[in-house]
Structure 1
Amino acid sequence: MQTTTMPAGALATATMHTLSFGAALGRMLRAMRTRRQLAGLDDRMLADLAISRADAMREARRAPWDTAPSDRRRRA
């Protein structure tokens, strides 16, 4: 039986990509959870955060992989 070994650089790259994927997955899951929580806040709570119901719903509809900060000021 022949075994194959991976060059050290390739192993480091594979490990880095695995860690990057795990971090990205964590960000997506966190975004999904917090957006769901934001959508569940009542109007008084949203007002305390200076967020309109429309802004909260727009944020909640964003794709899980869209984790870049949104600029609400552009819409104002």
Structure 2
Amino acid sequence: MKTIIHKLDDGSEALILPRELLDGLNLQVGDQFQIIETDDGIILRPVRNTFERQMTAARDVMDKYEIGLQKLAK
């Protein structure tokens, strides 16, 4: 898989990762990476904040099913 470094309007540069790669690794906008330099190149390692993701998912479910959950709690 190949990609290219793009120049942004503010003069900085960005490495754009293919959507298929992000989807396959379950990565989303805002996820953080650790960059590791090696003799052979670089390694991009996702920094997983699974607790925060789980809490966000739980809040989404509670918001979506608030009435049903209130009835179950009685």
Tell me the TM-score normalized by structure 1.
Answer: 0.30
Q: Which has the larger radius of gyration?
A: 1
Normalized per residue, the structure richer in helix is 1
Normalized per residue, the structure richer in strand is 2
